[in-house]
Structure 1
């Protein structure tokens, strides 16, 4: 399933959508963001570049847009890397290295605050590159694989959203 069909299906399920109207200037972005984005497949970039807003009606589950990755966090709302920041804040010096390594290899693109804080991310490197994983509080770095690719995730998520499939790790996102 491509990102346009996926988005249209979410809209049909009462998700809010605002199409991206302005090309993002990535030249001004932080190096960390540019590096992570550059490791994603084109299909991922096409998806996050397609919208400015993609959220459920309650606004407690949402996808991170390309614009979100590149805007400065002024302390209002959730930053695209909110869970990374929380992990770093609550880890001791010994744990920080592992937290940094983990997040350098995972780019979150979906978040939920519906009950537990949770995210869906794409793996950026290694043998699991391109896999889609999820994690939640309190140990954000303990993940469960949801799909082998973004397209597979789209199909699985829509099936779960429509009640056609039961994937316990996705219950926080419906």
Structure 2
């Protein structure tokens, strides 16, 4: 993880060290009862991790308790708001986000995310989704480890592949 963080810093990302009291809240551990240790270690390895323009950031354990300015589950909350009183739609939104843990959020041009799939045949893969239908997503990497490698390669490329090219602004300091 140290090498990944060092590479991000070298690319202009603002990375703050973890705080000693950063823990995943119990209610989230109950909801996401199958979080892989690799994910927990990753989100606990820094307290803030944003690109130079602050338009994209990795979710951290600290973000799980922050309510401003942008919550880690903001896209789920937007979808629930759009669902309004439709109980079936709301249940589908909640089920999707219980099976997908947000890794990286982006507000570069539009709302976008990368999330770790926690269930079903896609378990362990990383997916990409964007507004307006956040719950429609596609697999971008078979594992968190491979996603992080792809992420660094995209950040270091003058022409990163989609979806990295739209989700994470390049040289936007």
Whether TM exceeds 0.5 here: the answer is: yes
Aligned length: 166
2:122 match: secondary structure: coil
Query: Is there any run of 5+ residues in structure 1 with no aligned partner, and where?
Result: none
Gaps of 5+ in 2: none
* Other structure's SS at 1:90 match: helix
Could you list the per-position Cα deviations for residues 20-39 of structure 1 after superposition, in whole angstroms to 9, with x for gaps in the alignment? 1313344xx252x1135542
- From 14, 18, 21, the equivalent of 1:20 is 18
1:84-163 paired onto structure 2 within 5 Å: 84-92=76-84, 93=86, 94-163=88-157
The corresponding residue for 1:44 is: 39
TM-score (norm 1): 0.88
Query: Does 1:79 pair with 2:74?
Result: no
How far 1:164 sits from its partner (Å)?
6.8
Offset of residue 169 of structure 1: 1.6
- Structure 1 residue runs of 4 or more that deviate by more than 6 Å after TM superposition: none
CA deviation string 1:43-72 (max 9, x = no partner): 111111010011011111101111111x15
Mapped partners of 2:20, 2:66: distance in 1: 17
Secondary structure of the residue that 2:121 maps to in structure 1? coil
Q: Which whole-Å CA distance do the structure 2 matches of 1:89 and 1:153 have between them? A: 30
Q: Which residue of 2 aligns with 1:65?
A: 60
CA contact (8 A) 2:23 2:62 kept: no
Q: Is residue 59–residue 103 contact of structure 2 (8 Å, CA) maintained in 1?
A: yes
Q: Report Cα offsets for 1:66-124 as digits up to 9, x if no partner.
A: 1111x152xx3111100000000001413112111111101102110111111110011
- Equivalent residues of 1:36, 1:107 under 8 A apart: no
Larger displacement relative to structure 2 (94-103 or 52-61): 94-103
SS of the residue 1:98 aligns to: helix
Q: Following the alignment from structure 1 to structure 2, what is the Cα–Cα distance between the partners of residues 115 and 56?
A: 14
Q: Residue 70 of structure 2 aligns to a residue in which SS?
A: coil
